Chain A
Amino acid sequence: MRLLQALLWIALYLVLVLAPVLLLLVGSVPAGNGFWVDVALAMGYAALAMMGIQFFLTARFRRASAPFGIDILYYVHRLMALLGFGLIVAHAVLLLAAKPGLAARLFSADLPAHAMAAFASFALFLALIAASVWRKQWGIRYEPWRRWHGALAMAAVLLAVVHVDWAGLYIHVPWKRGLWLFIMLSWVLLLVYVRVLKPLLLLRRPYRVVSVRQERGSAWTLTLRPVGHAGLRFQAGQFAWLTLDRSPFLLSEHPFSIASSAEHPEEIAFTVKELGDFTRTIGQTPPGTRAYVDGPFGAFTVEAFPDEPGFVFVCGGVGIVPVMSMLRTLAERGDPRPLRLIYGNWTWENVIYREELDLLRERLQLDVVHVLQDAPAGWTGETGLLSQSLLERHLPEEAARRVYFVCGPKPMIALVERSLHGLGVPLRQIHSELFDLV
C-alpha cells in the first residue's frame, strides 16, 4: 500500500514537471524556431516547472511525505534543485549556441526586458543554490539562511515567470499563457501557506517547556506540555519542527526527533545534542518557555510494521533519539517481540540514555550491544566502526526476516546499509533517517 502510494506520488511529480511543457504543443502552436532552439525552450520550461514544484516538496504536506519520510523529500528537493539549475544552464547555453546573434546582444543596450528578467532570475538561483550547498562552509547561520532561502526562491521563480511571459514563446494563446501563470503562481502561493497560514495554525496550539534535563554526551532533554489542547498524536520514531520562545512567523524552527513515548501525547520530549548555533544554548532554556511544535513527520517508525517478527536498531550517537521513542513506546505497550540495539558512541561516558537502556532491558526482549571508538581501560565490549564484520557478530538468527532501523551520521548510515545488505538483509527491510535536513 505504501509502495503504491509512493509510486503514485512519483508519477504525479513527473506529470507535473512534464505536462506543462507538452501542453505547449496542444491546440494552436506557432512555427518551430529551429530544432536546438526549441529543445532549449522546452528545457527552460521544464526547469521552471521543476523549480515551482520545489515549493510543494518543502511545504511539509503530511499525506505527500508519509510514504517516503520528509527527510528524503528534503533530500530530493536538493537534488532536484541541482537538476533544475543544470537545465537552466543548458537552456541558456543551447540558445546561445543555436542563435549566435543572441550572444552579441547580451551586453548591448537593446537587451530585451525578458532577457533582463532571465539574467536576474539566473543570478538569484545561483546565489540560492551556492548558499545552500556551502552554507556551513561559508558560516551562514541556519535561521537567516532559512528566511533568505524562501524569499530568494520566490523572487527567482517570479522573475523566471516574468521572463517566460514577456518572451511569449509558445504561450501566445491566452489559455496557455493563463494556465502557465496559474500553475506557477499556485506553486509560489504554497510559500504563503508555509509562511503565513501554517504559523497561524501553530499559534493556536502552543506548548510550555516543563523541564530541561541534562543527558550524557552534551545532550539535553526538553519536555513540553500542550497549553489548551490535547497535544500531538505521533508515531514512535517521528520528528517535529520545534520553535522555542519565538513567534512561529519568525521561522526560527528546527527539526528534532521526538524522544518520548507515543503513548503519551500529553507530554512530548525532545533530546537535542549541542551541535550548532541554536542547540549550543538549548540547555539554558528556562522552564515555562513558550514553544510551538510543527509535526509529526517522518516514516522512520516501528508502527508501520505491526506484524514483523522483530526489530534491529543500529544507531550512532544522538541517532538513538528516535529509537528511544520506539523503545519507550514498545515497552509501554508490553511488546513481546525480540529487539536488538547496536549502539555506537565515541566514549562510554557519552552514551546517551545509558542507564535507561539498562532498565528497558528488563521490560523488553531487548539486547543492547555497545560499540565504543575510544574504550576505557578494561572494556571487554566491541570497539571501532559499525562494520560488516561487527554487525555479522551481533545480528540475530534469521537476520533477513527482521526489520532494521538505522540512524546516525550520514557516513555511518551508508556503511551500515551497505554492510547489512552484504549480510543478506533485503534493502526493503532496512530503514534509515537522514539527520542533516539542511
Chain B
Amino acid sequence: MREQLAKALTALTGVLIVVAALAFGAIQNRPDAARLAPVDAERLAAGKAVYEAQGCALCHAIAGEGDPAYPLDGIGARMNEAQLRAHIAPAADLAAGFPEVVFEMKQAYHTMSPEDMGALVDYLRNLK
C-alpha cells in the first residue's frame, strides 16, 4: 500500500510541476494589455527622473536631447514592456545581441530597484 502511495505522491509532484511550469510560461507571456496598468503623469515623471538619474542620455536621445546614436523616440511603438526590460538589463543569454562593452555596462542595471525599473519602463513605453 505504501508503494502505491509513494507512486501517487510522485504522480502528484509531476502534475504540480507541469501545472506550475505552464502557469510560469503563461504569466511570463501574458499579452501586454493585461500586464500593464495605465500610466499617469506622476508615474511618467518618476520614470523620466530615473532616466535622468541613471544617465541614460549619455548613450540615448529623446527629442534631440542626449546622444543621437541611439534615439529612443517612438520606442514604445516598437517594443513592448518585456522587450524594454530585456534591453535595459539584458540577461546573460542575450549577450550576443549587444556589443560586448554595451552588454557589460548594462549589467549594472540589474541592481536597479524594481520600482525604478518599472517607472523607467512605463516612461519609455509611452514614447510613441
Which positions in A face B, CB cutoff 8 Å?
10, 13-14, 17-18, 21-22, 24-25, 27-43, 46, 50, 68-69, 72, 75-76, 79-80, 82-83, 86-87, 112, 114, 166-170, 172-174, 414, 417, 421, 427, 430, 432, 434
Contact = CB atoms under 8 A, between A and B. Distances in A.
A17 B81 contact: no
A69 B5 CA distance: 13
Nearest to A177: B110
B14 A83 contact: yes
A168 B82 contact: no
B82 A10 contact: no
A170 B12 CA distance: 26
A108 B85 CA distance: 30
B10 A80 contact: yes
Nearest to A49: B17
B28 A169 contact: no
A76 B114 contact: no
A80 B82 contact: no
B2 A68 contact: yes
A14 B19 CA distance: 13
Contact of A76 (B6, B28, B110): B6
B29 A35 contact: yes
Nearest to A39: B25
Nearest to B11: A83
A72 B81 contact: no
Given A35-B25, A82-B10, 17 more contacts: A28-B114, A29-B28, A30-B86, A31-B28, A31-B83, A32-B28, A32-B30, A33-B28, A38-B29, A76-B10, A80-B13, A167-B92, A168-B91, A172-B89, A174-B110, A432-B1, A434-B2
A102 to B, nearest CB: 10
Contacts of B16: 14, 17-18
A291 B93 CA distance: 54
Contact of A42 (B13, B24, B110, B112): B24
Contacts of A24: 24
A79 B89 contact: no
Contacts of A17: 13, 16-17
B110 A46 contact: no
B20 interface: yes
B25 A38 contact: yes
A75 B82 CA distance: 43
Contact of A25 (B10, B13, B24): B24
Interface in B64-92: 81-86, 89, 91-92
Contact of B17 (A28, A38, A46): A46
Given A10-B9, A30-B85, A25 B28 contact: yes
B127 interface: no
28 contacts: A13-B9, A17-B13, A17-B17, A18-B17, A21-B21, A22-B20, A22-B24, A24-B24, A30-B85, A31-B86, A32-B28, A32-B82, A33-B28, A35-B29, A38-B28, A39-B22, A43-B21, A46-B21, A75-B3, A76-B6, A76-B10, A112-B93, A172-B92, A172-B110, A421-B1, A427-B1, A432-B1, A434-B2
A413 to B, nearest CB: 8
B26 interface: yes
Contacts of B2: 68-69, 72, 75, 432, 434
A43 B6 CA distance: 21
Contacts of A76: 6, 9-10
A13 B60 CA distance: 49
Contacts of A18: 16-17, 20
A38 B24 contact: yes
Nearest to B85: A31
A185 B1 CA distance: 34
Contacts of A21: 17, 20-21, 24
A68 B24 CA distance: 32
Contact of B29 (A10, A13, A34, A75): A34
A28 B117 contact: yes
Contacts of B26: 35
A173 B116 CA distance: 14
A14 B13 contact: yes
A14 B9 CA distance: 9
A72 B6 contact: yes
A83 B13 contact: yes
B73 to A, nearest CB: 21
Nearest to B17: A46
A417 B27 contact: no
Contacts of A173: 110
Contact of A31 (B9, B82, B110): B82
B18 to A, nearest CB: 8
Contacts of B25: 32, 35-39, 42
